[in-house]
Amino acid sequence: MSEKTKKNNMDAVNLEELLEKKDNAALRKVLKDQHAADIAEALIRLSAEDKIHIIGLMSSERASEVLVELDGQERYELIHNLDEKKLVQIIGIMDSDDAADVIGELDEEVAKRILRAMPGKELQEVRTLLRHDEETAGGIMALEIVSVNQKNTAAQALKVLRNKAGEVDDVYNIYVVDDAGILKGIASLQDVVLASPRAKLEKIMDREAVVIHTDLDQEEVANLFQKYNLVAAPVVDEKGRLVGRITVDDVLHVVEEEVSEDFTRMAGITDDDISEKSVFKISSVRLPWLLVAFVGEMISAKVLNHFVPVASGTLDNIILATLFIPLIMAMAGNIGIQSSTVIIRGLATGDIHLRDTGRRLIRESSVAFVNGLVIAVLLCGMIAVWMHQPRMGFVLGFALLIVLFVAGLTGTLVPLILKRFHVDPAIATGPFITTSNDVLGLIIYYSIVSSIGGA
């Protein structure tokens, strides 16, 4: 780890300490020296009031860099708490694609007010991007490009490049167009610099370069970048006119977004689960998929009951409890997977740290309790109606609630403990959770059933 990286990590930790001391001078220095990604990482752990205070200490340019680094719910909450005048200044400095992303996350009325307050050029750029679906090439492209007419020389192209140096970052290619703005080819920066100053661009440009259309899905864009090892690519409209460009950093964000979306959906959660603070909002996203699993497991219990009829009495109460072991194990496994997926995803992206253990434990166990309570009430009611045994329904529902609560704790703690001992949570968490849920779940379940149900 370099000295600069160590310094940045230390500053991210000390941000909260400086806020407590109200040392604005020291805060400004830290915010100036620190990388925008490190500041964004530190902001996640601050209160809404402290976040606004930190943004207020930065220049609009610096604040725009930090805002771009924030994801999902964190950015949504921050931009809705910012003063609109400050937000207009910040958005006005952003690249067009980033500005469109931020405005796209605003409530409709707020977005309209922000757009009305923006300067003419920036307003036109953002409106152009907002017309495209956010998950297409047109939605992720940037409008800042270096384009030169094909009749111009290499010397003239370099002059255009110098004039646009402050507007366009990371220039890899010069896009060559005709008088109608239709893309004719691409000239790499290296070819333009090495060519004779009098050489016409139409003579040195690549006419077979990869071109992306505005309506192409962002996943297909990522596939093209991977297939052809691209660092940047031009975007054209339906008439072939050059309208923007996509760079590799945009594609990396798309890849991360798509992989994360697939990964989290497999567990019945969303990316926003990582940054969302409301237990009930998180619960409302996860609960429907748990209910689907619950219905399936109730069917399996019905099948078991067909082959193992249950009468009344202490022994038969134990048999009744046995009918629901598949449900208990499956629901505990689902709760554990949901909690562990959020933690593993957060650890991988840097949104969750070991120092967040206490906060995460409270949040995930609360969500597990809320979802467990809903499912336990359903189980209790179904046993009372289906088998006419309300007392055992209450006992089994209570046992299920405790098992699911413990499963949530386990799913949260296991990846954090593995990370603490430098073991990859993504590899080792599954077996640990499966085994611990089975063992602990059965012990808790039968202990409660035998002590209460058999009394």
DSSP string, 367-389: HHHHHHHHHHHHHHHHHHHHTS-
32 falls in which pLDDT band (50, 70, 90)?
confident
Paired with 232 in beta bridges are 247
**What is the model's pLDDT at position 192?**
94
Q: Any idea what DSSP says for residue 142? A: B
State the amino acid at position 261 in one-letter form.
Answer: E
Task: Enumerate domains of the chain plus CATH numbers.
Answer: 3-132 (1.25.60.10), 147-247 (3.10.580.10), 267-453 (1.10.357.20)
**What is the model's pLDDT at position 201?**
94
Lowest mean pLDDT among 7-21, 147-161, 213-227, 372-386: 7-21
Structure confidence by residue, pLDDT tens digits, 211-241: 999 999 999 999 999 999 999 999 999 999 9
Structure confidence by residue, pLDDT tens digits, 399-408: 999 999 999 9
Confidence check: pLDDT of 419 > 60: yes
CB 174 within 8 A of CB 165: no
**What is the model's pLDDT at position 368?**
92
Confidence check: pLDDT of 5 > 60: no
Q: What is the mean pLDDT of residues 75-98?
A: 84
Query: Would the pTM count as exceeding 0.85?
Result: no
Q: What is the mean pLDDT of residues 358-374?
A: 90
Confidence check: pLDDT of 2 > 60: no
CB 371 within 8 A of CB 284: no
CB 144 within 8 A of CB 169: yes
- Give all strands of the β-sheet with 147-149 in edge-to-edge order: 147-149, 173-177, 183-188
Paired with 255 in beta bridges are none
String of DSSP letters for 164-207: TTTT--S--EEEEE-TT-BEEEEEEHHHHHHS-TT-BHHHHSBT
String of DSSP letters for 312-367: SSHHHHHHHHHHTHHHHHHHHHHHHHHHHHHHHHHHHHTS--GGGHHHHHHHHHHH
CB 450 within 8 A of CB 318: yes
Q: What is the mean pLDDT of residues 270-292?
A: 73
Confidence check: pLDDT of 455 > 50: no
Confidence check: pLDDT of 200 > 90: yes
CB 105 within 8 A of CB 76: yes
